[in-house]
Amino acid sequence: MISYDVADPKRLAKVFKKMRGFGDPVQLSVFRCDLSKQELILVKSALLKLINEREDKIVIVDCGPVGGRGEECFEFLGKRESLDSKATVVI
């Protein structure tokens, strides 16, 4: 899971667009990503180029390996977004 809080609307739009290439939006500013170690390095590098490290914040949460995890590790209250079993990854 990657979540972000970006102070500037222009940077926010750029981060959202970049994240669409690495995962699926679960909620505003929250993406579910199934990334290899190399892909994680790529997304971190791409995001660091877009944010202001003094004003913006990104949180990366490792939910464990994809295999066997299933959707039970996600719990929603209220409107539930569907989680596709496929992940979008741009290399």
Question: How far are the Cα atoms of 25, 27, 42, 45, 78 from residue 49, in angstroms, in the given order?
Answer: 21, 23, 11, 6, 34
DSSP, res 3: E
Tell me the CATH class for 2-73. alpha beta
Instruction: For the chain, give every domain's residue range.
Output: 2-73
pLDDT in tens, 3-20: 999 999 999 999 999 999
The reply to whether the predicted model has a pTM over 0.95 is no
DSSP string across 45-80: HHHHHHS-TTT-EEEE-----STTT-GGG---SSSP
Residue 79 has, within 13 A of its CA and on its CB side, a CA count of: 4
pLDDT tens string 43-83: 999 999 999 999 999 999 888 776 666 566 666 666 665 65
Dihedral sign, CA of 25, 29, 30, 34? positive
